[in-house]
Structure 1
Amino acid sequence: MMRRPPAPRSSRARLHQERLPRDVYVLGLIAFFVMVGFGVVIPVLPVYVREFGVGYLEVGAVVSAFALMRLVVTPFCGRLIDRIGERTILASGIGIVAVSSGLVGLAADYTQVLVLRGAGGIGSALFTVSAMTLLLGSASATQRGRAMSFYQGGFLIGGMAGPAVGGLLATISLRAPFFFYAGTLLIAGLIGLFLLQPARPRTDRAAAPPPVPLREVLRDVRFRAACLANFAQGWGTMGVRTALIPVLVVELLHETAAFTGIAFAVAAVAQTLALAPAGRFVDRVGRRPALVGAFTMAGGMLLVIPFVDSSAALIVLLALYGAAAAFMGPATAASVGDAAGPRNARPVAIYSAFSDAGAIAGPLVAGALLDAFSYPAAFASATVFMLIAALYALRMPRLQLT
């Protein structure tokens, strides 16, 4: 009696084990070099600005100028990318940030620093939207979670390496980190120029299916859920985690400012280790459970943090928050890709703008709540948006990728 041949593996199983496209790996490498330089500059920037004899309000204005210009320019990035192409806009964005950062190191007064950091925000918006559009266009529907995890990993690893290098450079000169940043951006631009796949010929682009109309994308519950979640993440990460935890560490836990760096480093390691499992979860189990679980967990962590009474407890909570954050980026980005399809830049630009809006409003509102009420009230503002995002994500369909 002849034995039957083994049943072929399902197409879905094969797709989940496909190697990620080359452009995904290249974009992850670009993200690493971009974030190494960014991580070098950020700890030094406030001290450098103070060298011009200005107050803390002016220091905050320089930081806000970067984020504000990102928010202003991001909505226009989609049309530019549709007309010129992702790779050209990506290279242009990196070039603008590189030149403006190098010139910051040569600035003669505060006004020049403010204007140049604003220009850097413009370049950052161009780079962010074009890279995300290229990433979602390169990966298939069953790879988007893993692709975003790898890309996000490049940022995280670069972000962990940057501050250490920045500290060493600052001992030489407060201007040196800005030249270093320009150099890492130059490397990132060259990697993109020589290693990214060349753009498709115009005839091929014309023959490709048209992108999903923006009006249809805006009505898609998956896209709305992703935008709301991105706003909540911007609010929680920048408005509460980054802005208030350093103050909490010093004023409530009576630790040194250096402890904040250690706690954030542990959280970044936890997030990095969770990225690969998170990407697989998003692709295999689904976007909806990842969004609901991650934002519920992150919101709970932020609600508990102001009540901690020990440094060890804070590190544990931040590590758990980092693990939850590992699911946020892949799940939201994959949801945008599912709703908008590949090579559709305008929805990506809108999605990115929600994060910038949260990052700008979050520090202001959370700071005002802390002044008027308490730490729990300030942290609860982020929890509210996190839970709203999780509840809205329950409306997403149980999409089965095949």
Structure 2
Amino acid sequence: MKWTLRTPLPRTVVMLAVSAFFVAVGFGVMSPVLPIFASSFGVSNFLIGLVVSAFAGMRLAISPFCRRISDRIGHRRTIGIGMWIVGASSALCGISGGYAELLLWRAVGGLGSAMFTISATALLLASVGPELRGRASGLYQGGFLLGGMTGPAIGGLLAGISLSAPFFFYAGTLVIAGTIAFTQLHDPPGMAEAAAVAPTRSLRQVVADSRFRAACLMSFGQGWQSFGVRSALVPILVVGALHAEPSWAGIAFAIAAVAQTAALPAAGRATDTIGRRPVMVTGGVLAAVATIATPFAPNLQVLIVLLCIYGVGSAALGTAPTAALGDAAKDAGSQPIAIYSMVGDIGAILGPLAAGILADHWGMWAAFGSGTAILVAGTVAAAMIPARLDRRNSEPETVE
């Protein structure tokens, strides 16, 4: 079939985006309440932070085994079971009678999250050809972003009822998402037979592929900056440096999320028509420039503009690297996808810790500068992708 910009995306991709929306809505409702709920057990700030980190830590620990799980039972079942595990763990968090229980069930949630995140990415890439990977990645990311914007508003209402209510709401949205996975998603034809055959492309060949290395660097940079430095320090800038009300931090993030969501369709189309490399480079430059300028914003209006520029850059970095990953990991199984996910998790874990140390000892410019340096490194790596490999139907890069 001849591909055009009007070619519809497969139903599986659309349903993945719908399930992503429900996951993100629930997470957006629950995550702001989690530290407050943990503090209700009278523990230290370190132990409160440990509850937040336990989820990402378990994701990182279980990621290497997700390929074997999905190869054995299929992507559809792995996604559905993973979502239901997170849902059950969230409900158990809500009825925890002590800190140790809360920590345990939050960690269990990370196990389920790794299962559905890696399998969903693998299914997304397996459901479309290289000519549609940008649009598919953009739609999938859009589901998460729309859910992420909706969740906090609902969470504020639920928190007023009870601190445990958001956990039960999150459990409900995960049950819905898991049900969608079981009833609406479909593994690609011949997947079971393909899983029984050894990959024809080795991990060594994938790691040597310039597209894979650039995608992983961008994933690490996004984890470090978006989920680490930006989330941890922008609220401090809003209150401490710009002397605005704390609520403006949430408003600024929401406006930036709207800009990012609006840019996703164009980023997806550009990834499929122009190529992965120019979109990754453009996104990296925008994100890096906005990042280094953020701590010097003279007022709230400029800060919001910079966050919106970063959001547009993130839209590009949420589509092109995933498409490049799919190109490089063709015929190599799910292991490269697990590595890609793990690299992003490592950035999200290390980013807040490093940002805090750098900000305490050298100032905000050093913390944001660390994120800028990683984004620049990813941009340089993307710029070095050979032109012959940046075509929609290019073959994997081989190692002699």
Q: TM-score, normalised by structure 2?
A: 0.94
Among residues 153, 158, 162, which one is paired with 1:173 in the alignment? 162
Equivalent runs, 1:387-398 vs 2, <5 Å: 387-398=376-387
**Which whole-Å CA distance do the structure 1 matches of 2:321 and 2:77 have between them?**
25
Deviation at 1:205, TM superposition (A): 3.7
**Which whole-Å CA distance do the structure 1 matches of 2:367 and 2:277 have between them?**
28
Q: Name the counterpart of 1:400.
A: 391
Q: Does 1:221 align with 2:210?
A: yes
Q: Does 1:154 align with 2:143?
A: yes
Deviation at 1:397, TM superposition (A): 2.1
Q: Does 1:73 align with 2:55?
A: no
Point out the more displaced range, 189-198 or 281-290.
Answer: 189-198
Contact 2:222–2:344 at 8 Å: present in 1 too?
yes
Deviation at 1:329, TM superposition (A): 1.3
Among residues 269, 283, 302, which one is paired with 2:258 in the alignment? 269
Given the superposition, is the C-alpha separation of residues 168 and 396 from structure 1 closer, same or farther in structure 2, using an over 3 Å criterion? same
Q: Deviations over 1:26-56 (max 9, x none)?
A: 0000000001100000111111111111122
**Which whole-Å CA distance do the structure 2 matches of 1:351 and 1:206 have between them?**
20
Q: Name the counterpart of 1:319.
A: 308
Contact 1:78–1:347 at 8 Å: present in 2 too?
no
Secondary structure in structure 1 of the residue aligned to 2:319: helix
Given the superposition, is the C-alpha separation of residues 74 and 206 from structure 1 closer, same or farther in structure 2, using an over 3 Å criterion? closer
**Which whole-Å CA distance do the structure 2 matches of 1:52 and 1:207 have between them?**
48
**One-letter code of the match for 2:183?**
F
- The unaligned stretches of length 5 or more in structure 1 are 1-10
Deviation at 1:79, TM superposition (A): 2.5
Contact 1:153–1:275 at 8 Å: present in 2 too?
yes
**One-letter code of the match for 2:391?**
Q
Q: Deviations over 1:50-92 (max 9, x none)?
A: 1111122111110011111111111221222223321121112
Contact 2:201–2:332 at 8 Å: present in 1 too?
no
**Which whole-Å CA distance do the structure 2 matches of 1:314 and 1:200 have between them?**
48
Q: Name the counterpart of 2:119.
A: 130
Among residues 294, 309, 324, which one is paired with 2:298 in the alignment? 309
Deviation at 1:202, TM superposition (A): 6.7
**Which whole-Å CA distance do the structure 1 matches of 2:201 and 2:264 have between them?**
29
Deviation at 1:143, TM superposition (A): 0.3
Among residues 49, 55, 63, which one is paired with 2:38 in the alignment? 49
Q: Deviations over 1:252-293 (max 9, x none)?
A: 001111000000000000000000000001110011111111
Contact 1:235–1:358 at 8 Å: present in 2 too?
yes
**Which whole-Å CA distance do the structure 2 matches of 1:207 and 1:67 have between them?**
30
**Which whole-Å CA distance do the structure 2 matches of 1:236 and 1:346 have between them?**
25
Among residues 302, 318, 339, which one is paired with 2:328 in the alignment? 339
Among residues 345, 362, 367, which one is paired with 2:351 in the alignment? 362
Q: Name the counterpart of 2:397.
A: none
Q: Deviations over 1:219-243 (max 9, x none)?
A: 1111111111100111111221101
Q: Name the counterpart of 1:119.
A: 108
Among residues 21, 27, 39, which one is paired with 2:10 in the alignment? 21
**One-letter code of the match for 1:282?**
T
**Which whole-Å CA distance do the structure 1 matches of 2:78 and 2:331 have between them?**
17
- The unaligned stretches of length 5 or more in structure 2 are 394-400
Q: Does 1:59 align with 2:11?
A: no
Secondary structure in structure 1 of the residue aligned to 2:130: coil
Among residues 278, 288, 293, which one is paired with 2:282 in the alignment? 293
Q: TM-score, normalised by structure 1?
A: 0.94
**One-letter code of the match for 1:42?**
S
Among residues 76, 81, 90, which one is paired with 2:79 in the alignment? 90
Q: Name the counterpart of 1:3.
A: none
**Which whole-Å CA distance do the structure 2 matches of 1:351 and 1:163 have between them?**
28
Point out the more displaced range, 324-333 or 391-400.
Answer: 391-400
**Which whole-Å CA distance do the structure 2 matches of 1:92 and 1:99 have between them?**
10
Among residues 145, 163, 168, which one is paired with 2:134 in the alignment? 145
Q: Name the counterpart of 2:374.
A: 385
For these two proteins, the number of residue pairs brought into alignment is 391
Point out the more displaced range, 190-199 or 149-158.
Answer: 190-199
**Which whole-Å CA distance do the structure 2 matches of 1:116 and 1:291 have between them?**
37
Secondary structure in structure 1 of the residue aligned to 2:106: helix
**Which whole-Å CA distance do the structure 2 matches of 1:183 and 1:385 have between them?**
37
Secondary structure in structure 1 of the residue aligned to 2:42: coil
* Identity across matched positions, percent: 50
Secondary structure in structure 2 of the residue aligned to 1:238: helix
**Which whole-Å CA distance do the structure 2 matches of 1:81 and 1:274 have between them?**
32
Superposed CA RMSD in Å reads 1.7
- Name which one, 1 or 2, has greater alpha-carbon Rg: 1
Q: Name the counterpart of 1:5.
A: none
Secondary structure in structure 1 of the residue aligned to 2:131: coil
**Which whole-Å CA distance do the structure 2 matches of 1:206 and 1:217 have between them?**
18
Q: Name the counterpart of 2:21.
A: 32
**Which whole-Å CA distance do the structure 2 matches of 1:251 and 1:202 have between them?**
53
Deviation at 1:328, TM superposition (A): 0.3
**Which whole-Å CA distance do the structure 1 matches of 2:362 and 2:187 have between them?**
55
Q: Name the counterpart of 1:99.
A: 88
Deviation at 1:199, TM superposition (A): 5.8
Q: Deviations over 1:82-108 (max 9, x none)?
A: 233211211121111011000001100
Given the superposition, is the C-alpha separation of residues 71 and 207 from structure 1 closer, same or farther in structure 2, using an over 3 Å criterion? closer
**Which whole-Å CA distance do the structure 1 matches of 2:63 and 2:73 have between them?**
15
**One-letter code of the match for 1:394?**
A
